[in-house]
Amino acid sequence: MDRTRLALNQYTVKPWSLREAIDGCIRHGIPSIAPWRDKLAAHGIAAAARDLRAAGLRVSSLCRGGFFPAPSAGERQARIDDNRRALDEAAAIGAPVLVLVPGPAEGASLAGARAMIADGIAALLPHAQACNVRLAIEPLHPMMIAERSVITSLGEANDLCASFASPHVGVIADVYHIFWDYRVEAEIARAGTTIAGFHLSDWRTPSGDLTSNRAMIGDGCIEIAGLARAVLAAGFTGDIEIEILNAALWAGDQELTLRTAVERYTALSA
Amino acid sequence: MDRTRLALNQYTVKPWSLREAIDGCIRHGIPSIAPWRDKLAAHGIAAAARDLRAAGLRVSSLCRGGFFPAPSAGERQARIDDNRRALDEAAAIGAPVLVLVPGPAEGASLAGARAMIADGIAALLPHAQACNVRLAIEPLHPMMIAERSVITSLGEANDLCASFASPHVGVIADVYHIFWDYRVEAEIARAGTTIAGFHLSDWRTPSGDLTSNRAMIGDGCIEIAGLARAVLAAGFTGDIEIEILNAALWAGDQELTLRTAVERYTALSA
């Protein structure tokens, strides 16, 4: 696949600081990066903006906002306020996209939680427009429904996205979260240019913590090349993120992880 | 919920033999049972048919056939032959339904595996008609795609079922496998009287083995009563199976598991 569109999602090498991740991108010829907010805070927002620019890196997205459902109106407002700060941070570092992990039900019904997510995005949208940052709804694998996201399929994310009909709302197509769906290619086509991010890892049946068991590209059963063709055919023109959240890899050699991921990405034909 | 429609799926109390499960049903006033083939084989088919009848139990289904995808044509034929034997066993014990766990891709593409499943059901259908046993396609939770089933949503199972348009092909609605889907109620309504089984357990985020981590009814986040109302409104008239596959419960007191499950079922309002 096209190396000029490659982006490193920073949690692929989670033990690294933002400085180390920037240096890793430079060493491996990766032209784009997706920082996470905790790493950004540790580095300082202004310093991050300066250092990313100095390194000549594009920013593909900022990870992450979202987590809208909460038991009380006050807590829901606090989440929205925090998402506004995330939009400010995205704008400051030149990220065109804020990834939204929608959040679990937190005691609400699924329908209630889904309504809170729609309300949260609606409340954020004016600030997203003002910042010129796109809110990107990421559907997560259904196994994460009780802990991360009640939005569990690309079809559902597409419906929610379509309800806003705004250039500042889009969806994330992460192969790990959506590949199992027999309608995935149809939903990718339907998403079209609302696709605001395309994330790569691979699937092996997880054991233990379900959130950090993603496989290295090529080590699992996801038909990545076919999904990539579908996403490109849909009109997605952004950078393509390697995002491999894997606790075993985090415990290992980050340089090896990064080298392997870049090799596997490069070998994909799409 | 209606105690006269309650069925015990035998793997809820997996350590028990068929004799022990029959006796458990009698003790707890459960009028229906779904045996598994390994337990049936251990008991003997003819003896099972006699003992189930003598106990006055209905049989809700036989678990399980399926697993159609295989690398070679010979192995695929062997799977179909085994499914024919499962149909014979179902007919012998008076089971109106053979549950089909579709199977993983086994090295094929997802599309290829899905085609093998459709071909397998088509090959079985004449024998199902001859036995007057319904083949019931069970969509499994997407986290099981690499090990158990490439059919991952009720929508997909409905589409496959509709392609046969036969009274001898239906679908299984198991709350554990389908509750996460924002379209689940619409797909239950679409399934209508093709629903050949309704299975109850509950969801807590699994760790360890994903196939035997289902929660006791009421201990998780599935909105069971609402799903039950939808299934009954769709026209399902069969028995409702408690099917809690849980390794921790299997290691505990089976009598307690059964008593608790019956209490939780009875307390559901649908």
pLDDT in tens, B162-221: 999 999 999 999 999 999 999 999 999 999 999 999 999 999 999 888 999 999 999 999
Element (H, E) at A174: strand A169-174
- Spell out which residues of chain A touch residue B207, defining contact as CB-CB under 8 Å: 207-210
Least confident of A207-221, B65-79, B187-201: A207-221
Nearest to B156 among A182, A207, A208 (CB): A182
Which CA distances in Å does A208 have to A48, A176, B208?
Answer: 34, 17, 5
Q: What is the pLDDT of residue A209?
A: 87
pLDDT at position B86, please?
98
- If phi over 0 gives left and psi between -120 and 50 gives alpha, with beta otherwise, what is residue A235? left
Give the model's pLDDT for residue B34: 98
Residue A261, both tokens:
């991921």
Residues listed for chain B: 270
SS3 B244: coil
The residue range of the domain holding A88 is 3-267
Answer yes or no: do A153 and B182 touch at CB < 8 A: yes
- How many Cα atoms are found within 13 Å in the side-chain-facing hemisphere of A110? 23
A229 touches B at CB < 8 Å = no
- Which are the contacts of A181, defined by CB distance < 8 A and separation ≥ 6? A153, A154, A155, A187, B142, B152, B153
In tens, the pLDDT along B224-253 reads 999 999 999 999 999 999 999 999 999 999
Is B2 in CB contact (< 8 Å) with chain A? no
**Beta carbons of B143 and A206 less than 8 Å apart:** yes
Residue B151 has pLDDT above 90, yes or no: yes
Q: How many domains does chain B have?
A: 1
Q: Inform me whether the pLDDT recorded for B156 exceeds 80.
A: yes
Q: Quick check: A270 pLDDT over 80? A: no
Q: Provide the pLDDT confidence category of residue A38 given band limits of 50, 70 and 90.
A: very high
Q: Which residues in chain A (20-79) have CB-CB distances under 8 A to chain B?
A: none
Interchain pair A146, B203: CB under 8 A:
yes
A269 has a pLDDT exceeding 90: no
Amino acid of residue B132: N
pLDDT band at B7 (very low <50, low <70, confident <90, very high): very high
Single out the residue of B115, B125, B147 nearest to residue B212, CA to CA. B147
Has residue B270 got a pLDDT over 90?
no
Q: What is the arithmetic mean of pLDDT over A198-203?
A: 98
The alpha-carbon gap from B200 to the nearest alpha carbon of chain A, in Å, equals 17
Residues of chain B with C-beta less than 8 angstroms from the C-beta of A229: none
User: Of A218-232, B40-54, B78-92, B205-219, where does mean pLDDT reach its minimum?
Assistant: B205-219
70-99 of B, contacting A, C-beta below 8 A: none
Best to test chain A binding among B178, B182, B210, B224 (most A CBs inside 10 Å): B182
DSSP E strands in chain B: the ranges are 6-9, 32-34, 58-59, 62-66, 97-101, 134-137, 169-174, 195-200, 240-242
- Secondary structure class of A113 (helix, strand, coil): helix
ipTM confidence: 0.96
- What is the rounded average pLDDT of the residues B97-118? 97
Phi (first) and psi of residue A82, to 5 degrees: -65, -35
| Phi, psi dihedrals of residue B221, rounded to the nearest 5° | -110, 5
Q: What is the pLDDT of residue B208?
A: 81
Mean pLDDT of B135-144: 98
CB contact under 8 A, B182 and A146: no
Specify the pTM. 0.97
The reply to whether A176 touches chain B by the CB within 8 Å rule is: no
Asked if A206 reaches chain B (Cβ–Cβ under 8 Å), the answer is yes
The 10s digit of each residue's pLDDT in A85-114 is 999 999 999 999 999 999 999 999 999 999
Tell me the average pLDDT across A76-83: 98
Helices B184-191 and B154-164 pack at an angle, to 10 degrees, of 20
To the nearest whole Å, the CA of B154 is away from the closest chain A CA by 11
Cα nearest neighbour of B108 on chain A: A221
Tell if the CB–CB gap between A182 and B142 is shorter than 8 Å.
no
Supply the mean pLDDT for chain B. Answer: 97
CATH number for position A242 = 3.20.20.150
CA-CA distance, B22 to B9, in Å (whole number)? 11
Catalogue the E-assigned strands of A179-268: 195-200, 240-242
For residue B181, the distance in angstroms to the closest alpha carbon of chain A comes to 7
Q: Which of A82, A139, A83, A75 is nearest to A107 (CA)?
A: A75
Residues B183 and A155: their CA atoms lie apart, in Å, by 9
Task: Provide the pLDDT for residue A193.
Answer: 98
Q: Give the chain B residue nearest A209 (alpha carbons).
A: B207
